[in-house]
Amino acid sequence: MSTSLSNGAPSGALPKVENMRVAIVAAEWNGHITGALADGAVELFKSQGFADEDVEIFHVPGAVELTFAASQLIETGNFDAIIVFGCVIRGGTPHFDYVCQSVTQGITSLNADCDIPVIFGVLTVDCEQDALDRAGGKLGNKGTEAAETAIKMFDFICKVRE
């Protein structure tokens, strides 16, 4: 999920998809940021014609728990894509590195081993302002970009399986 340097928007138009169900998992830690990311994703889905029942939101305590939650949601078979939102802010201890490594490796493993895309919407930032800038601030909303990525990956899967 990368952005263009020109305007901050992902490249390419969104495909029109039907019958897509999405789970959003947001960490409660730094909830004012993860909530804004989830709101951005929901707004994008609504703008694309998704019904309320097509998008379910779940909460877990922190970023490390995102992998477990995503794995459990995959197991249900009820969703076509899962988006995880977390926010890890660098501090004065190595905790930042451990959390970032854990969630990154966990989500990468799920994407390698499972048939449902798990979209990585975890902000790993130096300070709270960096996160706020990316959760609806001057750099846009990475939650919106995560929703766009989920739609594009669902479309990709549909084309591959045709």
Active site residue ranges: 95
Which residues make Cβ contacts (< 8 Å) with residue 109, sequence separation at least 6?
67
Taking alpha carbons only, the member of 148, 152, 125 closest to residue 137 is 125
Phi and psi dihedrals of 63, rounded to 5?
-65, -35
Contacts of 115 (CB under 8 A, 6+ apart): 157
Distance CA 2, CA 100 (A): 18
Q: What are phi and psi of 129, to 5 degrees?
A: -60, -35
List the structure tokens of 41: 């994703």
The two tokens of residue 10 are 């992902």
Q: How many Å apart are CA 121 and CA 42, to the nearest integer?
A: 13
Residue with tokens 């905790």: 95
